[in-house]
Structure 1
Amino acid sequence: PESKLIEEIANDVLKRLDATFHSENKGLVGVECPIEEIESSLRIGSEGVCKLGIWGIGGIGKTTIARAVFNKFSRHFEGSYFALNVREAEETGRIKDLQKELLSKLLNDGNVRNIEFELYRLARKKVLIVFDDVSNRRQIQSLIGCLDELASGSRVIITTRDKQVLKNCWANQIYRMKELVYADAHKLFRQCAFGGDHPDASHTELTDKAIKYAQGVPLALKVLGCHLCGRSKEVWESAMRKLEIIPHEEIQEVLKISYDSLDDSQKNVFLDIAFFFEGEHRDVVISFFDASGFEAKIELSVLEYFLHRIRMHDLLRDMGREIVRKESIDYPGNRSRLWHHKDISEVLKKGQNFINLEKIDLSGSEQLMKLPDLSLARNLKILKLCGCSSLMETHSSIQCLNKLEVLDLEDCKSLTSLPNSIHSKYLKEFKISGCSNLKNFPDISSSRIPFLDLKEVGIKELSPSIECLSELTELQIDNCSRLEKISNSIFNLKSLSGIGICNCSNLKGFSEFPFCTIDETRIERVSSSTLRLKSLSSLQIIDCKKLERLPDELGNLEALRVLKVEEAAIREVPESLSQLAFLSELKLKNCSELEYISSNIFKLKSFIYIEISNCSNLKSFPKIPSCNIDGSTGIERPSSSTLRSENCSSLVSLSSSLCMLKSLSSLQIIDCKKLERLPESLVKGTAIREVPESLGQLSTLVRLDLSTNNLERTPASLYQLSSIKYLKPFDNNFKHRLLTLSGDFRNRLKLDLIGLTETVYDGLRKLQCSLKVIAPQSEPRP
């Protein structure tokens, strides 16, 4: 029949088209998986208009993949067009010509005149369009107007180096082009360098070096392969050595297009990252640049994230360094940035007047023992010396670098001293973590440092000069095994929101010092009562085994919300703690010398969680005279509260001042083996709804009052308390449990029924059991 013949013809045409597609893609390497992923995202055949973006650096293969997808699926549409080099068309003034060609192809009409009418016609056809190398949404609008006005079932693919362009075009899906895996990179390089054959043994190592340099970028693999094809081994070796310093020009020309599209401030950010910040934590970099608009900059395809760290492709990094090299090819001292050790060595040895030099990176220079005079580098902004493990001293000229913004001395393990002061008021980043032999912390004039990490630093004393870092928000002191004293002046840092002090095994306490004023015109002494740190919300002191006393200034930390003290030798908690209106979490753990905790802590107005664990010397919570046992002075709180005490082996009793905790919803007493008595007013007037089953494990408990509260039930284990002698229950369903009690239990138990309803009392009186009852007319015995 005729229908079957048509079907056979159609199938034959499709097979021929498939054969055409495979022949067009012959020679392409590593395209199968990307095509499959893009095909899945395009949802060919479904309704609506789907806009898919392909994003990546120059030379990564965006156009190649887009062309392969176009070749495979264009036959499924009523019209299709591949708009090549859109950015270039706009830059050369050919955007109108490109628009006419696009409409002519899509409408199959060689006589396009009335653009508005032709766009109306286009909106009625299901089309596939690829816009290649787009750098601005305006370019697509100039070509075709609003993409959402295309006919349902249409598909649009946009390739770009800038991810933000895809967001501006409201792309439904964004596909990031990935570098070729090693096997595919090796295959592509072989095709170009050896005509597809395997390299002989003498070129194996050089081949691996070339592939490693290209970092999976197809353009780089092709350019290097073609450049080295047929060359001698000596030429290969020379080329590899040169690439370590100077990128291949043809590769750079393609990559530099991304750089050229940036404005001046973005170019500076790009170069700083290429030289100094690649691999740094994203938050640190953003903080350094103080950039409210930096978020847009880091969306450029030249940058990406991995585990919150900023990553830049090696080829882009090398391109940035080459741009700076060309600032002054013959005189490195005239460049704005230096990173190669040979250039830095030449400049420093010759003592050039490097007035243009803004950045020096000597990171990882393991043979550097002494930093030379840098007084001539008057415009130096960044000095990176991290990982210079042999560096023993810095030159005094560092203190006179008045424009210095970054001083990175991280992991300079042999460094013993720094200048007494650093005068740059622009300093934003000061790193000395890992300087395990450093003996002094310098006075720093800058008020711009937001974060200070003192990890594994050899100083014995954190001096009061730290108070001059007025914009410091985070201070971390970790594994400083020689540190003995910390100045109380840290509590006068007005912007500080978090302090962490961990594993400082010799820290003995906080000491009062004179401290500097911001203008440094005078030194004065301030009493602890004047210290009012309004931003500190978290203070953690962990594993400081010689710390015997917490600073009295704790009560002045008005914004403190979290206080954690673990594995310290403190004997008491300051009385002033009760003044902390916002403290919601208090943890005292593994403080084996702790003997005294004022019950004033229960006056904390915002208390949500208190944990006291493994404090083996703590015997009790002392009473406070101002607390009424009936709870009339209790503090009402907006939220429920938890008190947890675990493995306090000497704890004998809890204070009756617990009556102040009107919002107490959870009381956890775990493995406190000497606790014999809970206060009579334990749950009176609190928000506790039920007593946990574990209460039955208190084998020494003799007296329990559960009256005047909001309890909804008691656990069965309550009636298994082996030493209980006095029980005052709450007014709800408990009488049926008494029938199951052993005779021994009933014989020793004294049941207090004062205050219970008449119905409950009458019901109990009718029970045939030998209970000693304190009746409503009686008074309980003491």
Structure 2
Amino acid sequence: MDGIRRKSRDVLMVGIFGSAGIGKTTIARALYDEISCQFDGASFLANIREVSKKDGLCCLQERLFCDILLGGRKVMLLRRDNLMESKFCTKKVLIVLDDVNDKKQLELLAGRHDWFGKGSRIIITCRNEHLLLRHKVDESYEFKKLDGLEALALLCHHALTEEQSPFKRFLFLDNIRARCENNPLKLKVAGSYLRGKEDANWEIYVNSKFLKVSYEDLLEEEKDIFLDVACFFQGECEDFVTKILEKPDFSAKQGVQVLSNRCLLTISEGKLWMDNSIQEMAWKIANKQAQIPGKPCRLWDHNKILHVLKRNEGIHALIEGISLELSKSKDKKFSGEAFSEMDALRLLKVFLGSGCVNDKETYKVHFSTDFTFPSYDKLRYLHGHGYQLDSFPSNFEAEELLELNMPCSSLKQIKGDEIHFPNLIALDLSHSQQLETISNFSRMPNLERLVLEGCRSLVKVDPSIVNLKKLSLMNLKGCKRLKSLPKRICKFKFLETLILTGCSRLEKLLGDREERQNSVNLKASRTYRRVIILPPALRILHLGHCKRFQEILKLPSSIQEVDAYNCISMGTLSWNTRLEASILQRIKINPESAFSIVLPGNTIPDCWVTHKVTGSSVTMKLKNPDRYNDDLLGFAVCLVFAPQAERPQLNPEILCELKNFTFFYSCGEDSVDEFPESDQEWGNNSTEHVWLAYRPHARADRCHPKEWNHIKASFEVFDCVVKKCAIRLIYK
């Protein structure tokens, strides 16, 4: 693969193809780790086959943008059209697209050579060479199985401790290598199983099906986790899965770590992944297990699920988990009889695949009107997209339930006497258009996350919510009929995020001046309130498009981000000497913390800049580079921008490039598509705005040389005109 390392200014696309489990990802990762420091930006997109299926290609585009331009810092992109080619074409980048299986993935993530700057390298791993040929890669390599010596070395690395000699076990090792067909994944699984085992176990392993033996060697609790991940939780976050699978006498986190050590699953960026061949083995085990009388049953194939739910075959009482993707099933009418017998049910997941997000409210599960849930003693996770009944059955109790998700349901109200969820951590009823009230939150005292986004009929939040001592997230975005919130809504000591975006009838929000243990993020764009009294520990404040908003009575010292884009009635929170001085003081007290603020206006504060110009870029000469590098705390940039007359922009996205160091900021927070009537209700904005941002020097150290003689900042605001810009270096 010399072409990848070759110092050429050409853009090269290189493909690596071969069968599953032979080490394509491993070699791509090794190349990435070896040469990534030579590029302006780098990104390794792993498990594209599974991630695109679960989260969609837009998620991968967003990840690629953030990795290349923002060093991995996550943002939500409102505009993606031509974003890759327009932003990457001047940068020398290294991108690895791992486990690609569809031409659309390549077209959206690495469409053409001219998307990327000179010297860029794009590495693609896949099983099918034809996919590479169709995409016209420059070079392709077939990654074949290891030869005998390489395979033995890999097996010894995983199977033997430092004290053990490979010579005494050579015959065993060579037989196992042959049984594994020199396949790296199989060798890793075999070696991980054999490590520390007595010679007798080695002899048994030589004559056995190695994957099955590795499974049989697990504890019963570890086997359950293995099968649950394979059937229900591929690609899910480790923290979420371990919470759901935790048992009083067994740590799910410890069990996941054992599976990882045995190479039966991998943990990548906090998510659980299982190789296809291992997952297929797990499915076979689960299917066989379901046919044994008295053994638990897991259902994930939609045809099998529909067959079982329509026919009483005597296995309902043994079903522990169901995962049904709605988009694969035309007939979704169920009676309650089958569910009433599922006393062993732990996991119930009725969901939409990533390809159905645009039609999510058209998918419903139709239950008969006499539908009843039994009192589930073991149910810990319930996700029911499109639940069709207008209330929960009166006997619905699930004391072990940790997470309840029912997006796009037909629920009208949830009465306190209908439910009892003492251990519930998360409740998501987003886009339940008919939901009006939830009463008596005391029936779910351990709730940490409450998501009611898009519940347009919600008229009030029950006052009992203030008794939820552990609540950290409350999302009321798009609740358009909501007029008020309970007093002291911000009293929760652990509340981290309060989202009120689009609550257009909400008039007041009163904070709590009591001491808090942590700071809070408040997102309240597109509301009509005039006055806000904020909690003293506020980290993020979003007020975009609040056209009637007039003042904030106090701006807390803990603030990191303020977005007041298109707040045209704003009075007291305009640029003034006191505000400028307080921001500068905040930066010097906490120089490692970034800061950003957007306000209506057309003047760059004089005390904030040392170099300002008309236009979209500014260059500043440095007189003393050595001292500059020793004493520099960070960079402050500022610009004045206005929407283009012919293309008024409700949500500008700002891109600032400081050599190889990039700022990105999205004003107004939300996509116009989420508020279809916004053009008439909010009007088009033509007001000039000022954006000021600070980033600590530490974030740029890996990108910049130790000594500079100048620094240049370039700005772009999509569909807007940059009128002025400025830069200042903040010293100790």
TM-score with structure 1 length normalisation?
A: 0.45
Counting strand residues as a fraction of each chain, which structure ranks higher? Answer: 2
- Look at both structures and tell me which one has the larger radius of gyration over its CA atoms: 1
